[in-house]
Structure formats: C-alpha cells, structure tokens
C-alpha cells in the first residue's frame, strides 16, 4: 500500500546508507523540510515545518539552513526515489496492459533562477529576437508509467545534452530499477526517432512505439501499400555516417537493416500520422490498438503539468546547481508519494462500491 511505502521511505532517510550519500547532515529534519516544500520562501518553509511539528523552539535561520544545504548530495533523493519505485513494482496489484508495463518518455524545459552562475552551469545561450538576453533554463526528462502514474526515473540537466541522450539514460535507469520484467512498452513522440535510438533499443528488452515526422524514413513511408506493414529500415552508409557512438555505428554496419512495423493512423482532423514499432504481432496489437496505445502518451504530459503547476517545481529555493538538483529530485519523490496515495484512494473507493453492491 502507498502509506506503507511512504513510511518505509521515511525510515530509509534514517539509514546509514542514506546518511553516507547525503554526506555530513544532522539530517532528518533537514530532509523532511525539503520533502515538504510548498514552493514558498525558505523562511516560510522553515516556519511552517517547525510550527506543524509544534517545535518552534528548534527553528533554524534561513542562513543556517542554506549553509547546511551545501553539504547535501542531491543523489540521496535519487536513491530514495529508486527504493520507493522498486517497492511499487514489488506490489502484485500493479496495473498492466496486455501484460505490459506501459511507459512514455518526454522532456520539459524547466525555468531556474536566472543568475549568471546557473546560465553557465546549464550552458544557456541567448536565442531569437532577444539576442542580448540569456535566460536560465534546464531540461527535465522523465520515463513515466502511464497506467500506474509512477515517474520511474527523471533527470535534470543542460538543454544542450538533448532529449535523446537523457532519454537513453532514463531507459537504462528504468531497467536497473524494474529488474523482474521484460514486458515493457515505451512510447516516444516524434522528436526522439533516429537510427541511433533504434540501434540502442535493440540492446534492450523493451518494445517501443515512435511517432514519425513526415520526412523521417520518407522512402519507407511512401513505399507502404497498406496502413500496417513490416518493413526493413536499411542501415546505409549515409544513415550511419553521423552516428556519434562508435559501438552503435559498428553494430549498424553488422546488422545492415532493422525490421520494424510501420502503422498509419488517421486522426479525427483527417491528418495521417505514421507510427513505428517492434510490436510485430497483429494478433497481439491490431492496427487500431497501436493507434490507441500511442494516445496513452498524453499521460506523461499531464504528469509534467502536475509537477510544474501543483508541485511548483520551478520555484527553486536557491541559486546554485546543487540546490536546483536537490529541489528537483526531492519533488519527483514527493510526486510519486502523492500519486501512490491517490492510487490507494481509488482502490479503496472501488472496493467500497463493489462491497455495497
């Protein structure tokens, strides 16, 4: 149950392993303050925390708290969240679709304090009509379980890293967290497709579903005689030329082609979209079901909306990269805890309704 997992997460905070990750902290109140942030000022956060604990005599100054933060490794929140997510997937009631965990990947720009230091840390540059003005932004990337509302893994980094690079990290982090299943589907929007991504995915057990831009694999799209076909993507020298990863480039040369399933779906607007997947079996997922599966991707956009507008993740409480990462990873853990409780509430309501019928 969600409550039990939250209780265990707070027990984790007290363990020597977490204290070692966090380095020298005096430690539990400090962690709880960060996990209970409401997007207000540091002074208000401290006042609210100790007031609600009925421990006003223990309140610390903003200056003392900020100094203490410099000793906290943000990795402690990543470790806590990994433990938390592992426990979720040990629950036998986890929701699957046709036996698969359905995940989606997306990236989102995150506004951070617009200081020169953070502009440099996150490699920001001026763009557009305001060439004289640089705005500090980071890139968040997450892999999200759509059926169970779990942000399995998340990363914040410079936008220069690129969505594909962060997505690759999300995927391998997910596989290290969810180790007892090989039935995962991951859905990607059209900005992610590339030869490099397809070659990388062949090294995983994941079933993928990409939305294709109209100009990507145009020859293969135009060759289709129906709206659902198995097609070979030829790994020509031209297609392999710009690959950055030598191992993947060599893999492409050896494979020579990648078998994929290409599906065309017609939207309510009349526009035709092309999807690419390695879910080859039409009996398992029909043409119509592939289209319905792609629409599930909307769930991760809704999740980022909650994270930004309800958890106020862009209300960063300091001006150092360390603080940005502390706030980000703490709030991603809070998001998973909140969604866990919401799942329990839905199950309890469904149980009461069925009992009363």
3-state SS of 164-210 is: HHHHHHHHHHHHHHCCCCCCEEEEECCCCCCHHHHHHHCCCCCEEEE
Q: Which of 14-28, 197-211, 267-281 has the highest mean pLDDT?
A: 197-211
pLDDT tens track for 102-121:
999 999 999 999 999 999 98
* Nearest to 2, CA basis, from 92, 81, 87: 87
* Nearest to 43, CA basis, from 354, 329, 317: 317
pLDDT tens track for 26-82:
567 767 767 777 766 777 776 777 667 666 666 666 676 677 777 788 999 999 999
The strands making up 228-234's β-sheet, listed across from edge to edge, are: 150-157, 137-145, 101-111, 184-188, 207-212, 272-277, 257-266, 228-234
Q: Is the pLDDT of residue 1 over 70?
A: yes
pLDDT tens track for 161-202:
999 999 999 999 999 999 877 799 999 999 999 999 999 999
Helices 42-52, 62-69: axis angle to 10 degrees equals 100
* Nearest to 332, CA basis, from 96, 80, 160: 80
- Cβ–Cβ under 8 Å, residues 206 and 246: no
Q: Positive or negative, the Cα torsion across 270, 98, 95, 172?
A: negative
The whole-number average pLDDT for the span 282-293 is 95
The whole-number average pLDDT for the span 82-99 is 93
pLDDT tens track for 150-166:
999 999 999 999 999 99
């Amino acid at each position: 149950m969600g409550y039990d997992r939250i209780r265990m997460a707070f027990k984790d905070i007290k363990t020597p392993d977490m204290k070692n990750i966090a380095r020298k902290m005096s430690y539990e109140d400090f962690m709880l303050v960060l996990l209970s942030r409401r997007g207000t000022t540091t002074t208000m956060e401290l006042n609210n925390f100790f007031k609600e604990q009925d421990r006003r005599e223990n309140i610390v100054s903003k200056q003392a708290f900020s100094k203490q933060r410099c000793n906290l490794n943000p990795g402690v929140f990543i470790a806590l969240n990994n433990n938390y997510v592992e426990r979720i997937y040990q629950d036998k009631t986890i929701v699957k679709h046709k036996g698969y965990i359905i995940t989606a990947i997306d990236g989102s720009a995150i506004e951070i304090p617009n200081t020169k230091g953070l502009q440099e840390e996150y490699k920001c540059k001026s763009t557009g009509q305001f060439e004289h003005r640089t705005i500090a932004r980071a890139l968040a990337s997450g892999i999200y379980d759509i059926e169970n509302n779990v942000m399995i893994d998340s990363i914040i980094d410079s936008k220069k890293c690129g969505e594909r690079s962060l997505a690759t990290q999300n995927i391998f982090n997910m596989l290290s967290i969810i180790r007892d299943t090989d039935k995962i589907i991951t859905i990607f929007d059209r900005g992610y497709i590339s030869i490099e991504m397809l070659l990388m995915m062949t090294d995983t057990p994941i079933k993928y579903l990409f939305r294709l831009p109209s100009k990507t694999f145009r020859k293969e799209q135009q060759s289709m005689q129906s709206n659902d076909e198995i097609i070979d993507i030829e790994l020509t020298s031209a297609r392999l030329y710009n690959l950055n990863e030598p191992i993947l480039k060599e893999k492409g040369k050896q494979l020579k082609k990648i078998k994929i399933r290409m599906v065309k779906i017609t939207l309510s607007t009349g526009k035709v979209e092309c999807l690419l997947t390695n879910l080859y079996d039409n009996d398992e997922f029909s043409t119509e079901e592939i289209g319905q599966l792609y629409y599930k991707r909307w769930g991760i956009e809704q999740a980022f909306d909650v994270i930004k507008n309800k958890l106020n993740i862009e209300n960063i409480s300091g001006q150092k990269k360390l603080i940005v990462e502390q706030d980000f990873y703490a709030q991603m853990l809070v998001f998973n805890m909140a969604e866990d409780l919401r799942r329990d509430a839905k199950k309890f309501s469904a149980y009461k309704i069925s009992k009363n019928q």
